[in-house]
Homo-oligomer: A and B are copies of this chain.
């Protein structure tokens, strides 16, 4: 019998941590080793996360990065920014793999310090990190790495839509408008007035207009496809739903090309991908069509009247936008079939 991969999760009681656990726990090739907790060590995991009562009596253990790292083959961190520095250092020292679902290795040092308002304590490791949306960057993992910066939820949906179009020189990049709509789970499991049921039900509002931290992430990682300057106007909105991101993007064309030809560029790019589907003309993506799954649906509309190309892209923020993609990255890292554990069809209705 093949040896199981030993996995530990820092941050298992948050929403991305839960999604990670529920998918890894039922796999026969993985053993979950440690679930360290700062706030509730010694408690049952199922006491903090009700659904876990279905499956296990695991105990959350003390937060001791070095000890946990030593026992594991791979570490997942699903933590607020700034909380992975010691964990990454330990992984480096003990030669273990790390997938950071948080934001600590997505930006270059300068941008990190500016946008996260925090001095990066392990900034040398940023250069060793591979930022990876598999459909765009999986080759970089195959070149070898121990540290993967798992992309943000909004940036995943946006880059899957825009990268092939920028790469093909189809759209102008100096003022791409990204109007994104997210379910409330994207705001995390912390206690905030704004995410109470009675506050967010029947409510839509924008937040962080032009200043959300996912803006520099999109710009930095899309820059590789062009010599032109990438500038993104990013407006995220909270929606009264739990899961799902819908990114509606607006760009002007750089060359004369039809909607059909543009769609063909996307279809061709993703023709061998299990998780990314480019829809047929006139079929608009629905967040519900990817709910609870690692899929991404994309389509484009070319508006002749104004000259805008509208790119629409939907994902489940906790799966393709976080933990599903992290597992996809782990599978690549370990040479496992890429879709293992995340192949499920969306949950409808």
Residues of A that sit less than 8 Å from B by CB = 15, 18-19, 21-23, 25-26, 49-55, 175, 177, 179, 181, 183-185, 189, 191-193, 195-207, 209-210, 231-233, 235, 237, 239-244, 246, 248, 250, 277, 279, 283-293, 295, 297, 301, 303, 305-308, 310, 312, 314, 318, 343-349
Chain B residues, Cβ within 8 Å of A248 = 179, 206, 235, 237
Q: List 16 A-B contacts (CB under 8 A).
A: A15-B348, A18-B348, A22-B344, A54-B297, A179-B250, A181-B204, A195-B196, A203-B286, A204-B239, A209-B284, A210-B305, A235-B248, A237-B246, A240-B240, A292-B292, A344-B344
A312 shortest CB reach to chain B, Å: 6
Closest to A290 in B: B54
Cα A17 to Cα B263 in complex, Å, equals 31
Closest to A48 in B: B193
Query: Contact at A346–B288, with CB atoms within 8 Å?
Result: no
- Contacts A26-B345, A53-B277, A206-B284 known; 17 new A-B pairs at CB < 8 A: A18-B348, A22-B348, A26-B343, A50-B286, A54-B346, A175-B307, A181-B237, A184-B196, A185-B198, A185-B349, A189-B196, A198-B349, A202-B202, A206-B248, A209-B301, A235-B248, A318-B349
Closest to A26 in B: B343
Chain B residues, Cβ within 8 Å of A284 = 205-207, 209
Pick the most buried of A204, A235, A307: most chain B CB atoms within 10 A of its CB: A204
Query: Contact at B54–A204, with CB atoms within 8 Å?
Result: no
A53 with B15, Cβ < 8 A, contacts A181-B237, A205-B246 known: no
A197 with B202, Cβ < 8 A, contacts A232-B306, A250-B233, A344-B344 known: no
From B177, B207, B287, B306, contact of A202 by CB (8 A)? B287
A161 shortest CB reach to chain B, Å: 13
Cα A202 to Cα B239 in complex, Å, equals 9
Chain B residues, Cβ within 8 Å of A289 = 50-51, 53-54
Cα A21 to Cα B344 in complex, Å, equals 11
Closest to A293 in B: B54
Chain B residues, Cβ within 8 Å of A343 = 26
Query: Contact at A310–B175, with CB atoms within 8 Å?
Result: no
A348 with B49, Cβ < 8 A, contacts A179-B179, A196-B195 known: yes
A275 shortest CB reach to chain B, Å: 8
Query: Contact at B310–A210, with CB atoms within 8 Å?
Result: yes
Cα A244 to Cα B202 in complex, Å, equals 8
Query: Contact at B242–A201, with CB atoms within 8 Å?
Result: yes
The 4 closest A-B pairs by CB, nearest first: A203-B288, A210-B303, A22-B345, A198-B349
Cα A217 to Cα B26 in complex, Å, equals 34
Chain B residues, Cβ within 8 Å of A197 = 184, 195-197, 199-201, 240, 242
Cα A170 to Cα B285 in complex, Å, equals 35
A187 shortest CB reach to chain B, Å: 8
Chain B residues, Cβ within 8 Å of A306 = 175, 210, 231-233
Query: Contact at B207–A345, with CB atoms within 8 Å?
Result: no
Chain B residues, Cβ within 8 Å of A198 = 15, 183-185, 189, 195, 242, 349
From B205, B303, B349, contact of A242 by CB (8 A)? B349
Chain B residues, Cβ within 8 Å of A279 = 53
Chain B residues, Cβ within 8 Å of A344 = 22, 26, 344
